[in-house]
Chain A
């Protein structure tokens, strides 16, 4: 902000240093949740304050920022966060995945493959993958320390016993570099394979829970499964009504009172590119 009321990128320099140190430790121990002194942000907890703090600590005037929510650049929360950074960090913004140096996201990984040098910042509501199995932080911390993940295996197995399959659609747990079980944030499991050995750096920020974690580029990220029940992603019989894609994650919309459904790409940039550039649709 240029009126001198707030520091560049909103956070004061000492807070940025604290977050930067946490980010470096997070990169050094992939998948481990680093506690950090999360600050109150001018946006509500649960609305991306962790992602915003991470972005504020890394972003500079040379960056080009893309913000998505549910894969779309124009959902209200994405608009609000993009406006915030355009204002406080004087940063260029884009909707094009390949033009962005920093992409802040809620609930999706872009369909367009990311490249080396890009940073993907995830907004995380509950960073602890074991939280719904064990609500106590004191317990889950010990389980991570001991690499004692039986409780997660049992939970997935119970799902198979009950439903014949792992009935988890989003926030599907992953194992990072063979050591830490990690919450990929509430992305659909459709996006999990994109995390594996991605050339981009993944940073995860949980503001209310005050945790930062990371997956460095080219790091193995395995979705948990069993030999006889391998991990699989969502598929649709339909293709995108707008661009015809059969490969992208589709949003289902109810378009009339009789409940007629229409399917379109969740990633608005990917969909628009396919429509405007016919060769992209090939």
Chain B
């Protein structure tokens, strides 16, 4: 009868074996390669890199394979690897106007310098299952114009900004790093943005959505969304000048929002900002909505909705933390439960005793 809590070590070993077996599935089906995941499940790789805070397609693909496609588990795997890596320093801020854009749209103007570039998007697909994909086959390559790598794409926001219609981006604030320092409140905007960039896409999506339904509305327009390749530059201490160390794919969303102005500031448009690794428009847009919502206090707006509540949003956005704490309820809690049993039994006994006494008193009358 003591078996239930004995033999933990063997049970764990067997559980790990079963998991590995389950992961591989039917041996008659070809095993997935990391290249296949990277190339054909690329948006999953993008999400894992974004919320895993680590730009490495093959590591993210490995994590997805190991996690059997459970993306939050894959994000956790990548984070736990990332935390052991040495840090060399901070890169320079990305210059997204130097992006080689595969996609770039603005919903605030019919046309913009550089044009509306649809690129690859699900936006205009009819969501009909394509049964031809159920079997393998040759897929013709899409015709593409050669990328114009020399052309810079001016940001729509910058154009509005020159006119004074849109607030300028914030001045450089000293960078902090949430993965090395605990969150302190109130948080600076860079810290909030880092938190949101690492935050769960579903959580941010729901919060962003809630602002559109009136819980902290700020009249958003997509000033611009762009997706493409940008260089990453770094200044090594010993060199003293910037060198390009990588090119990465990012999605940037500059959300333009109404602002009524205040005593000192004339009405102008304000910004919410979103940035994600790879092609992750839903995430970047949700992030931009929540970023803007969290600026309520700074812009003297009344902060009454969940998406405007900095502590609520920042404390609950991380899916690795949330997943761990929700699932830790699976761990044994029988000691605490025993404590509760003792308390509740005592309370029930007292109520019962009072009832019996009352019955006796009544009978005696």
A residues at B contact (CB < 8 Å):
6-7, 10, 12, 18, 35-42, 44-47, 49, 69-72, 74-80, 83, 106-108, 125, 136-138, 163-165, 167-171, 186-190, 208, 210-211, 234-236, 242, 249-253, 255, 262, 264, 266, 268
B residues at A contact (CB < 8 Å):
1-2, 4-9, 11-12, 76, 79-80, 82-84, 86, 179-186, 311, 315, 320-321, 323-328, 331-336, 338-343, 346-347, 350
The answer to whether A40 touches B339 (Cβ under 8 A) is no
Given contacts A137-B185, A138-B311, A168-B343, contact A255 B1 (CB under 8 A): yes
- Shortest CB-to-CB span from B182 to chain A, Å, is 4
Give A7 to B181 CA distance when docked, in angstroms.
21
Our pick among A40, A47, A236 for the contact of B80 (Cβ within 8 Å) is: A40
The answer to whether A75 touches B332 (Cβ under 8 A) is yes
- Shortest CB-to-CB span from A190 to chain B, Å, is 7
The answer to whether B342 touches A44 (Cβ under 8 A) is no
The answer to whether B6 touches A164 (Cβ under 8 A) is no
The answer to whether B80 touches A253 (Cβ under 8 A) is no
The answer to whether B336 touches A44 (Cβ under 8 A) is no
Q: Please indicate the chain A residues that have their CB under 8 angstroms from the CB of B179 in the complex.
A: 37, 39-40
Given contacts A10-B84, A41-B80, A168-B343, contact A107 B336 (CB under 8 A): yes
The answer to whether A188 touches B335 (Cβ under 8 A) is yes
Chain B interface SS verdict (over half):
helix
Can you name the residue of chain A whose Cβ is closest to the Cβ of B331? A77
- Shortest CB-to-CB span from A172 to chain B, Å, is 9
Can you name the residue of chain A whose Cβ is closest to the Cβ of B323? A44
The answer to whether B324 touches A45 (Cβ under 8 A) is yes
Give A106 to B185 CA distance when docked, in angstroms.
29
Give the 5 A-B residue pairs with the shortest CB-CB distance, closest first: A45-B324, A46-B328, A169-B339, A44-B324, A46-B325
The answer to whether B334 touches A234 (Cβ under 8 A) is no
The answer to whether B12 touches A125 (Cβ under 8 A) is no
Listed by A's residue number, 20 A-B pairs whose Cβ atoms lie within 8 Å are A37-B180, A44-B328, A45-B321, A71-B335, A74-B5, A76-B11, A76-B12, A77-B331, A83-B12, A106-B331, A107-B333, A125-B325, A138-B185, A138-B186, A169-B340, A170-B339, A170-B340, A188-B336, A252-B338, A264-B2
- Shortest CB-to-CB span from B174 to chain A, Å, is 16
From A36, A76, A107, name the one whose CB has the most chain B CB atoms within 10 angstroms.
A76
The answer to whether A83 touches B9 (Cβ under 8 A) is yes
The answer to whether B86 touches A74 (Cβ under 8 A) is no
Q: Please indicate the chain A residues that have their CB under 8 angstroms from the CB of B84 in the complex.
A: 6-7, 10, 12
